[in-house]
Amino acid sequence: MVDLKGQYEFIKERINSSVIEVIESTAYINGPEVHAFQKELEDYLGVKHVIPCANGTDALQIAMMGLGLKSGDEVITADFTFAATVEVIALLGLTPVLVDVDPINFNIDIEAMKAAITPKTKAIVPVHLFGQCADMDAIMEVAKEHDLFVIEDNAQAIGATYTSKDGSKQKAGAIGHVASTSFFPSKNLGCYGDGGAIFTNDDDLAHTIRGIVNHGMYKRYYHDVVGVNSRLDSIQAAILRAKLPHLDNYNKARQDAARKYTAALSGHENIITPTICENCDCHVFHQYTLRVLNVDRDALVKHLNENDIPCGIYYPVPLHLQKAYRDDRYDEANFTVTNQLAKEVISLPMHTELEDDQIEYITSKVLEFVNK
């Protein structure tokens, strides 16, 4: 699904020397590499504050802690995503409110989101799923009207650019009140272990969060709030500094591969290819995900695997049907899209090193199966 070794080969010297420098410096925690990476990512994203942390799940949790969300507060998020989002809502004693997604872009459905708002709703967590920006204009408008926080889960869309209705452009993660991301190795900007970050333009929130990630300390050994220990280590920061200058090219390589997949697969009556916007950069293809109609999806997976093609099912079970998150409040009639997508989606290999002949081979094997 990913070719981390191939990507490493191109930047091996810089990575190796940066890692060795950190080891020799002995500044393993909160060293200069972490601060430099933080600044470089702030510049890249156009946000005032980046607060590095240990992983993308912590980033979501810390963002919610920083906003002061309290037990009983309702937080709306998409039913069709990785479980981290709903997991941290539940862990903090908040009430998750899962809603259906849009069948075209797989992101939170705006009407479903509006319908889920109650007097207890405090925040919305849009997830820019598979690398494509959610409808942030609509989300920010609804949030403003109801006085809600917006926490962007940007784990899959770092580097994507969102173009608003008025033509202004912002990086995904720079739009909501606060955002989280993950540097898990297979993410668009991945390190060689775990890593994550929180972004915000709000000075006070940034200050609060900087304390939370460090045991609630604003002055050493004075604990003002309940915090956590969540840090990006200096070696990972050094690796991310080496990779950040390549992020735009990495995302372009993903977009090119997506275009080639789509050229080969679009127009087939049993296949729905993902939308590709030609005039914007709102999709950075963390995943290239097809919907297959009237096709035995699991047999297609088997066919591809038998031909040495890895593929992924993201995600096989909607969150509202997961044992941990089932709730009598949910009505199946409100989840028709996620229930359908869970049966139809299949993600093809997607990374920065895909060659044309690999794409041709993969698409030919997909077509061979669906044409059978």
Q: Which is nearer to ligand PLP, 265 or 284 (CB)?
A: 284
Q: How far apart are CA 294 and CA 303, in angstroms?
A: 16
Which residues in 88-107 contact ligand PLP (CB under 6 A)?
Answer: none
Q: Identify the three-state secondary structure at position 275.
A: coil
CB of 168 to ligand PLP, least distance (A): 25
Nearer to ligand PLP, 34 or 300 (CB): 34
Residue 357 amino acid letter: D
Q: Interface with ligand PLP by CB under 6 A: which range of 53-61, 65-73, 223-231, 256-264?
A: 53-61
Instruction: Kindly tell me which residue out of 159, 176, 190, 196 binds ligand PLP, with binding defined by CB under 6 A.
Output: 196
Terminal CA-CA length for the chain: 25
User: Cα–chain-centroid distance for residue 79?
Assistant: 14
Rule CB under 6 A: is residue 233 a binding residue for ligand PLP? Answer: no
- Residue 54 near residue 193, CB atoms below 8 Å: no
Question: What is the Cα–Cα distance from 273 to 268, expressed in whole angstroms?
Answer: 9
295, 369 Cβ separation under 8 angstroms:
yes
Q: 127 or 346, CB closer to ligand PLP?
A: 127
**Which of the stretches 55-63, 108-116, 135-143, 335-343 binds ligand PLP when contact is defined by CB under 6 A?**
55-63
Sign of the C-alpha dihedral computed for residues 125, 82, 58 and 28 taken in this order: negative
Both structure tokens of 133:
């920006």
Cα angle: 189, vertex 99, 274; to 5 degrees: 50
**Binding flag, residue 318, ligand PLP (CB under 6 A):** no
- What residues numbered 288-307 form the site for ligand PLP, per CB under 6 A? none
The reply to whether 182 sits near ligand PLP by the rule CB under 6 A is yes
SS3 (DSSP) at 323:
helix
Tell me which DSSP letter residue 81 carries: S
Among the candidate windows 5-13, 49-57, 96-104, 259-267, which touches ligand PLP by CB under 6 A? 49-57
What's the closest the beta carbon of residue 83 comes to ligand PLP, in angstroms? Answer: 8
Among 55, 77, 188, 363, binds ligand PLP (CB under 6 A): 55
Binders of ligand PLP among 149-178, rule CB under 6 A? 153, 155-156
**Cis peptide bond upstream of 221, omega within 30:** no
Among 320, 4, 2, 1, CA closest to 192: 4
Q: Is 18 in the site for ligand PLP (CB under 6 A)?
A: no
Task: Please state, in angstroms and rounded to a whole number, the distance separating the CA atoms of residues 262 and 264.
Answer: 5
Residue 184 interacts with ligand PLP (CB under 6 A)? Answer: yes
Give whichever of 19 and 54 is closer to ligand PLP, judged by the CB atom: 54
Residues within the interface to ligand PLP (CB under 6 A): 55-57, 81-82, 84-85, 127, 153, 155-156, 182, 184, 194, 196
